[in-house]
Amino acid sequence: MIGTKDYSKDSKLGRGVWATYRGKQTCPADCALIKKCYAKKAHTNISFERATENYSNEGETIKAYITSRPKGDKIRHHVSGDFLIDDKADTEYINSVIEGHKKRPDLRGWTYTHAWKVLDNVFKGIKSLTVNASCDTVADIKIARAKGYDTVIVVPKDTAPVSTVDGEKIVICPNQVQAKRGVKLACSDCMLCFKKDRNYTVGFRQH
């Protein structure tokens, strides 16, 4: 697991966001995006490969990392990687993330998981952490929401800022919408993916 504060060059995350990375062994083998994952590109891939090569028991490390963040800070978990280890729930790691965030209700942490189908939603009710289910279809959204997850989905690049698909409201990531207008709204300013109990799904346009 690698953490960094310097995200000033990352126009998506923005300034003042801590970030963690996990290796390839933590990703579900059946992830629909595994062959075109953004974590395999550019500078993110460097951290992804490093986390893969340097993998070790990350439970105590991540708990210490979370609990030592400055008051009120933000954490983007898993810029690469997920909650698994060799396609099974990484229970020790998951419990450590939960314990860390329970001790730090002042933080705002968020992440996305493609492993939501095999993971019980043990993250529900944690004030300082939102785990979004990365869905592939509208049917997935309905199943994930029934498990208590907030949801996100990848949509075609021409999808309208707000749309309804089979009864499900999709709101496009504000960063992608604003970028077309010449404005860069970073995650650190938006925090839509941290918002809990949403009655809509955040959509990310293919890019």
Q: How many domains does the chain have?
A: 1
Q: Which residues pair with 19 in a beta bridge?
A: 4, 76
Q: What is the pLDDT along the chain (207 residues), one digit of tens a residue?
A: 666 544 434 667 877 899 898 988 888 888 887 776 766 666 676 676 676 677 777 888 999 999 999 999 999 999 999 999 989 999 999 999 999 999 999 999 999 999 999 999 999 999 999 999 999 999 999 999 999 999 999 999 999 999 999 999 999 999 999 866 667 789 999 999 999 999 999 999 987
> pTM of the full predicted structure?
0.90
Reduced to 3 states (helix: H, G, I; strand: E, B; else coil), residue 128 is coil
For residue 42, count CB atoms less than 10 angstroms from its CB and return exposed for 0-12, middle for 13-18, buried for 19 or more: exposed
- Within the chain, residue ranges assigned H as helices are 42-53, 59-67, 91-103, 138-146, 174-179, 187-190
Task: Please count the residues of the chain.
Answer: 207
Domain housing 188: 2-205
Question: In angstroms, rounded to a whole number, what is the distance separating the alpha carbons of residues 1 and 48?
Answer: 9
Question: In angstroms, rounded to a whole number, what is the distance separating the alpha carbons of residues 154 and 173?
Answer: 10
